Amino acid sequence: MNTREMFKRAIAGGYAIPAFNFNTMEQMQAIVMAAVETKSPVIMQVSKGARNYANATILRYMAEGAVAYAKELGCEHPEIVLHLDHGDSFELCKDCIDMGFSSVMIDGSSLPYEENIALAKKVVDYAHQFDVTVEAELGVLAGVEDEVSSAESHYTKPEEVIDFSTRTGCDSLAISIGTSHGAHKFTPEQCTLVNGVLVPPPLAFDILHEIEKKLPGFPIVLHGSSSVPMDEVNTINQFGGHLEAAIGIPEEQLREASKSAVCKINIDSDSRLAMTAAIRKHLAEHPGDFDPRQYLKPARENMKKMYIHKIVNVLGSNGKLAQ
């Protein structure tokens, strides 16, 4: 299914739909198991990098398998969106639409404003012929190398959102309010030490609320929303990894955002951390194991636990299937 009804209900209900990236069968299985157990709608998203890694056709059929698997697990009416994450060209979006994706993102956020509009509109015009929904992006997500002050200059400008959404016809809008991709979203210098914990600067909720006022009821998307759980980072480091200064978005802030017009929250890095932590731990404790099933099983379990936690305790999408 596409995102249209899903987002309408999420905004009205004050929760957000999880958008989890997948590249492997274990991630796909964990996402489906978590969504079924919690009775949550879910967006399964595929990046260009995922298509290069796993093969576009295989991922497409894995998503079809995900729907069948959800039914096999006892969910009669699963709500699963297959979404292209960060499409960077019309051709890539078209390829995914032609392959049966129900939703695509065209990310022209690094382009000049008018070029971003022209590209997004071209994708929307094509996608809507097939009832495929389109996410576009306005504002640039900060990189960890940015100072907070320069990061602010990339925030979405509320005064542009009406013009952008009207002229592109996009179905949802990804905005920049202080989140960023990866496991190193902030430098320790950007954070404040509170009770021994590094607390990053808060998201720009004032900008989010201004955008909501300009576009009442319009679906807003947050990228870069992993929280980089310290226990997973510690496990990775305890068993031979070396992740320094890994800092994410505090979950309370994502919980707060979920109650607003933010109706899609993207999480990828937390899945990578959960998988890597479990694999490192297993192999360190069982040095003789070499069957991938031996270490991928706990990895899948750990990801499933993380997905369930996000759905139930952060986004609030549990029990929100229409039927």
Interacting residues with ligand 13P (CB under 6 A): 21, 85-86, 181-182, 223-226, 266-270
Please identify, using beta-carbon distances, which residue of 7 and 321 lies nearer to ligand 13P: 7
* Angle ∠(182,185,187) on CA atoms, nearest 5: 135
Please identify, using beta-carbon distances, which residue of 140 and 283 lies nearer to ligand 13P: 140
3-state secondary structure of 208: helix
What's the closest the beta carbon of residue 280 comes to Zn ion, in angstroms? 25
DSSP string, 128-160: HTTT-EEEEEES-PPPTTS-HHHHHTTS--GGG
What's the closest the beta carbon of residue 264 comes to Zn ion, in angstroms? 11
Contact between 172 and ligand G3H per CB under 6 A: no
The region of 43-51, 68-76, 257-265, 307-315 touching ligand G3H under the rule CB under 6 A is 43-51
Query: What number of other Cβ atoms are within 10 A of residue 195's Cβ?
Result: 5
Which string of b and e fits 304-313 if b means at least 16 CB within 10 Å? bebbbbbbbe
Please identify, using beta-carbon distances, which residue of 104 and 215 lies nearer to ligand G3H: 104
The rounded distance, in Å, linking the Cα atoms of 123 and 271 is: 29
Contact between 268 and ligand G3H per CB under 6 A: yes
What's the closest the beta carbon of residue 86 comes to ligand G3H, in angstroms? 6
Question: What distances in angstroms separate CA 180 from CA 144, 154, 184, 185, 195, one per listed residue?
Answer: 8, 11, 9, 6, 25
The region of 42-50, 64-72, 239-247, 279-287 touching ligand G3H under the rule CB under 6 A is 42-50
For the four alpha carbons of 309, 107, 261 and 155, in that order, the dihedral sign comes to: positive
Q: How many helices and strands, by DSSP H and E, does the chain display? A: 13, 10
Q: Which does 50 bind (CB under 5 to 8 A by kind): ligand 13P, ligand G3H, Zn ion, none?
A: ligand G3H
Contact between 309 and Zn ion per CB under 5 A: no
Give the phi and the psi of residue 190 in degrees, each rounded to 5: -80, -10
Please identify, using beta-carbon distances, which residue of 9 and 264 lies nearer to Zn ion: 264
The rounded distance, in Å, linking the Cα atoms of 168 and 26 is: 36
Contact between 21 and ligand G3H per CB under 6 A: yes
Active site residue 291: no
Question: What distances in angstroms separate CA 304 from CA 11, 33, 251, 297, one per listed residue?
Answer: 25, 7, 17, 11
Please identify, using beta-carbon distances, which residue of 181 and 300 lies nearer to ligand G3H: 181
- Strand 197-199 and strand 192-194: pairing? antiparallel
The region of 152-160, 248-256, 263-271, 297-305 touching Zn ion under the rule CB under 5 A is 263-271
The structure tokens listed for 43 are: 């967006």
The region of 29-37, 117-125, 251-259, 262-270 touching Zn ion under the rule CB under 5 A is 262-270
What's the closest the beta carbon of residue 289 comes to ligand 13P, in angstroms? 28
The region of 46-54, 97-105, 119-127, 149-157 touching ligand G3H under the rule CB under 6 A is 46-54
Q: Which does 2 bind (CB under 5 to 8 A by kind): ligand G3H, Zn ion, ligand 13P, none?
A: none
Contact between 102 and ligand G3H per CB under 6 A: no
Query: What number of other Cβ atoms are within 10 A of residue 292's Cβ?
Result: 11
Q: Work out which of 5, 8, 12, 49 binds ligand G3H, going by CB under 6 A.
A: 49
Q: Which residues are catalytic?
A: 85
Site residues for Zn ion per CB under 5 A? 223, 266
